[in-house]
Amino acid sequence: MKLVDKVVYIIKTLDELYPEVNPPLNHKDSYTLLIAVLLSAQSTDKRVNLITPKLFKYADNPFKMIKLSVKKIKNIIKPIGLSNTKSKGIYNLSKILIEKFNGEVPDSFEELEKLPSVGHKTASVVMSQGFGHQTFPIDTHIHRLMYRWGLSNGSNVDKTEIDAKRIFPKKNWNKLHLQIIFYGREYSPARGWNIKKDIITQKVGRKSILNKFNF
């Protein structure tokens, strides 16, 4: 199948399966989104959504957050994992937001990525879901499916992001990256994968995978 036909099929199928998509992390503004995304590193959205209401009850903006101690933040977020690093990151970035940006989250990749504990993926999610910019945050599901669909070589997430942005129309990025995540979780997981349920990989998957399963 030609690349252009793959892209059309993928977008069409995902639009049929997921006509409406909502960000999986609960938040009310760019600050609570930033904190939620930071907490989601090496954790699950479900677990983060259970803990953030407890944290935001005490502090839902940087001014309130720095009134908590790092220890207090750590105790609240402990069930999420990596609480040592994440609690320090939350406290320190909140302090910087107050000192440099009057408590506002900057609408800038460059400034976001300078913040403690904020990498490119976190910045991409905030720019997309917080500010509405067309970005393509790459998580493990997208990385896996881009490889399975023969759209990227799977070498690293940076290459996957470059390929995704090159292949898919920019106007689709914000919706599409969420659709691919939802599809990956439901039909094309890393573990317990049943290709017979994975209609997109059956249609557009790389030859080595399809041959392995006799498709």
Do 113 and 37 contact (CB within 8 A), yes or no?
Answer: no
Tokens 């990596």, residue located: 82
Is there a catalytic annotation at residue 198?
Answer: no
Tell me how crowded residue 86 is: count the other CB atoms within 10 A of its CB.
Answer: 23
Q: What angle do CA 8, 203, 121 make, to 5 degrees?
A: 65
Closest CA relative to residue 115, chosen from 106, 128, 125: 106
Q: Which of 139, 159, 165, 203 is catalytic?
A: 139
Catalytic residue among 72, 88, 121, 165: 121
- In whole angstroms, give the CA distance from residue 32 to residue 49: 11
5 is catalytic: no
Residue 66's φ and ψ, nearest 5 degrees, are -75, -10
CB 149 within 8 A of CB 6: yes
Check residue 128 and report its DSSP letter: I
Host H or E run for residue 160: helix 157-167
Catalytic residues: 121, 139
